[in-house]
Amino acid sequence: MAYSPLRITFPLTFPVQPQCSPLPILPPLSPKPLILRRSLHSNPLRISKLAPKVSTVQDAVGGVVSLIQSSPPTWQSALLSNLLIFVVGSPLLVTGLSLSGIGAAFLLGTLTWRAFGPSGFLLVATYFVIGTAATKVKIAQKEAQGVAEKRKGRRGPGSVIGSSAAGCVCACLSIFGVGGQAFSRLWQLGFVASFCTKLSDTVSSEIGKAYGKTTYLVTTFKVVPRGTEGAVSVEGTIAGILASVLLAFIGHLMGEINRQGVAICVLASQIANLGESIIGAALQEKEGFRWLNNDAVNVINISMGTIIALFIQQVLQNWLM
């Protein structure tokens, strides 16, 4: 059987396709260059350089914290703690103290921290906040009447020292261990009583100037203008009692005094404030007593409060024994 050769002729013909509109020609995409970021972990040399620095910072922070928490407190911990607190609290401090007053308050805070630790410092800080707030109450009205504290209530070093003299003495007695362990709690009681006395005096005076409807001279009960030395008012007296109760209770919560100590501090502060009013009415600014200014009267006032509290405590202790 014979086969004929297959022949293919060109061009081949295919079915005609419908014409389509040509697609637009887009420019070729230029890919962004790939940026490889080197992580810290990919550079062991850099880690080795940073590790000692991180460790040094951690050690320094740990050392500061352990120093602040040192028990019993040391002079180093007292200085460092006060420095940190005063830097952070400087906006509040400048509202109630002059620049020299802040310096005196720093010394007081350092001594307090060294003697009684953070609890004693917080007690003094509470006294400062409440006392400053009371001084600022109706300050414009007090200035118009001429009975406001100088420098818009910002107290100077004389006021700081006068308000804390008895407390500083108790702090020194505690630091040097005068009387031994048996007297350590007694010095704490005297410390709290001194600031309860001063806070009660400050609050009663400032609230009396702001809200006292009638002020009486304590020696004669004669009605006198607000701000008169030795004058008292019902509103101011009640406010002063509440302030001493509050500060004494805070001292109890912080472990400075017991419940009996709260009552002793409140009672001693009111007796001392009555004595201070009598001194102010009878002697202050009188002939022969020009030296008896507000700062001197403050020292006498808080000293009386401290001594009375210590005396009451000793009497009760001997009576109960």
Q: What are the pLDDT digits (tens) for 272-294?
A: 999 999 998 888 777 777 778 88
Does residue 4 sit within a domain?
no
Query: Would you say 40 and 47 are in contact if contact means Cβ atoms under 8 Å apart?
Result: yes
For the segment 188-210, the average pLDDT, to the nearest whole number, is 95
Minimal CA–CA distance to 236: which of 281, 261, 200? 200
Per the structure, the count of domains in the chain is 1
Residues spanned by the domain of 255: 63-320
pLDDT at position 38 over 70: no
- Condensed to tens digits (0 to 9), the pLDDT of residues 102-146 reads 999 999 999 999 999 999 999 999 999 999 999 999 988 988 888
Q: What is the pLDDT of residue 123?
A: 96
Does residue 236 sit within a domain?
yes
Does residue 68 sit within a domain?
yes
Cis, bond preceding 22 (omega within 30 deg of 0): no
Does residue 47 sit within a domain?
no
Task: Identify the sign of the CA torsion 235, 237, 243, 245.
Answer: negative
Does residue 25 sit within a domain?
no
Does residue 84 sit within a domain?
yes
List the alpha helices (DSSP H) in 137-258.
139-145, 157-175, 181-211, 234-253
Q: Which residue has the tokens 């007090």?
A: 142
Highest mean predicted confidence (pLDDT) among 7-11, 230-234, 250-254:
250-254
Minimal CA–CA distance to 263: which of 167, 178, 196? 196
Tell me which of 164-178, 232-246, 292-306 is least confident. Answer: 292-306
Query: Would you say 174 and 135 are in contact if contact means Cβ atoms under 8 Å apart?
Result: no
For the segment 151-157, the average pLDDT, to the nearest whole number, is 80
**Within 10 Å of residue 294's Cβ, how many Cβ atoms?**
16
Structure pTM? 0.77
**Within 10 Å of residue 248's Cβ, how many Cβ atoms?**
29
Does residue 52 sit within a domain?
no
Minimal CA–CA distance to 244: which of 269, 261, 264? 269
- Condensed to tens digits (0 to 9), the pLDDT of residues 85-99 reads 999 988 888 888 989
Question: Which are the contacts of 78, defined by CB distance < 8 A and separation ≥ 6?
Answer: 109, 110, 111, 113, 114
Looking at residue 5, what DSSP letter applies?
P
Does residue 49 sit within a domain?
no
